[in-house]
Amino acid sequence: MTEEEQKLSPKQRSRRNFLGQSLFTAGAAIAAPSLLNSCQNKTVSASNALVEGETMIGLKINGQLKTLNIEPRVTLLDALRENLGLTGSKKGCDHGQCGACTVLIDGQRAYSCLTLAIMQEGNEITTIEGLATEDNLHPVQTAFLENDGFQCGYCTPGQICASVALLEEVNNGSVSYVTRDLTNPPELASLSESEIKERMSGNLCRCSAYNGIVAAVQQAAGQTPPSPAASIEHSQVG
C-alpha cells in the first residue's frame, strides 16, 4: 500500500478499489471482442490459404458439365464421390488393383483412383449412374441382373463399366493376350469364355461371382449363356 493510500480512510480505499476493478472489467469487456476478431481473422486467413490451393475445373460427367473447386492432387474417384455425390464408383484398394472404381473416359475403361480429376477436363466421363437412360437399364446392367453377376455388389459398378468397355473394344477389333490369331480378332458372337475372363481380369470379385459375370457378358454380347448349373459344373471340372 502506498503512502497516499495509507492517508485514505477505509471507506475511501474501498471506493477506489471498486472503481479500479470496474475499470479493469470494462477494459476487459472492450478488449474481448478485439481479441475475438483477431482470432477470427486468423481463422479466415487459414481458410483462405486452403482455398488458394484449389483450382476451378469443369468435368463433363454423364452428359452434364460439373464445375467444382478442388486441389490439383484430388483423384477423379474422390472428386466423384466426395465433391459430386456420385458414390456408385467404389473405393476398394485405392491402388488400381481391384477395379471397383472403374469408369469410362471417352468410352475407354479407366481406374478413377489412378487419375487426377484435373487431368480429365474436356473428356467425356461416364459412371455407373450414367449408363441407364430414364427408366431403362443398360443391356449390360440387365444381363448382370438376369445372370446373378454379383453377390455383395461392391465391385459390380466397376464390373459393369468394364464390361461395357469390353464389348466396345471387341466391336473395334481389339485383341487380347489370349487371342490366337491377331490378324483375325474375335467378334461378339464368337467371343470365347477365355477371352472374356482375360479381358475382365482387371476387375476382382471377392465373392467369386465370376461365372455369373462371364454369363452376363455373353448375354450382352448376343450369345446364349449356359444355365447357372452348367456354369458351376464346368468350373468344378476345370
> Could you read off the pLDDT of 197-228 as tens digits, one per residue?
999 999 999 999 999 999 999 999 999 998 76
Query: CA 134 to CA 25: how far, in whole Å?
Result: 67
214-232 in b/e burial notation, b at 16+ Cβ within 10 A? bbbbbbbbebebbeeeebe
Query: CA 159 to CA 212: how far, in whole Å?
Result: 11
Over residues 86-129, the pLDDT tens digits come to: 999 999 999 999 999 999 999 999 999 999 999 999 999 999 99
Reply yes or no on whether the pLDDT at 9 is more than 90: no
| β-pair type (102-105, 108-111) | antiparallel
Residue with the three cell numbers 476345370: 238
Over residues 147-184, the pLDDT tens digits come to: 999 999 999 999 999 999 999 999 999 999 999 999 99
Query: CA 54 to CA 64: how far, in whole Å?
Result: 22
Cα–Cα distances in angstroms (integers) from residue 190 to residues 142, 170, 178, in the given order = 21, 10, 14
Query: CA 38 to CA 44: how far, in whole Å?
Result: 10
Q: Which has more pLDDT, 161 or 10?
A: 161
E strand or H helix that includes residue 69: strand 64-70
SS3 83: helix
Q: Give the pLDDT score at 116.
A: 97
Where does the pLDDT of residue 1 fall: very low under 50, low under 70, confident under 90, or very high at 90 and above? Answer: low
Domains of the chain (ranges; CATH) run: 53-130 (3.10.20.30), 136-238 (1.10.150.120)
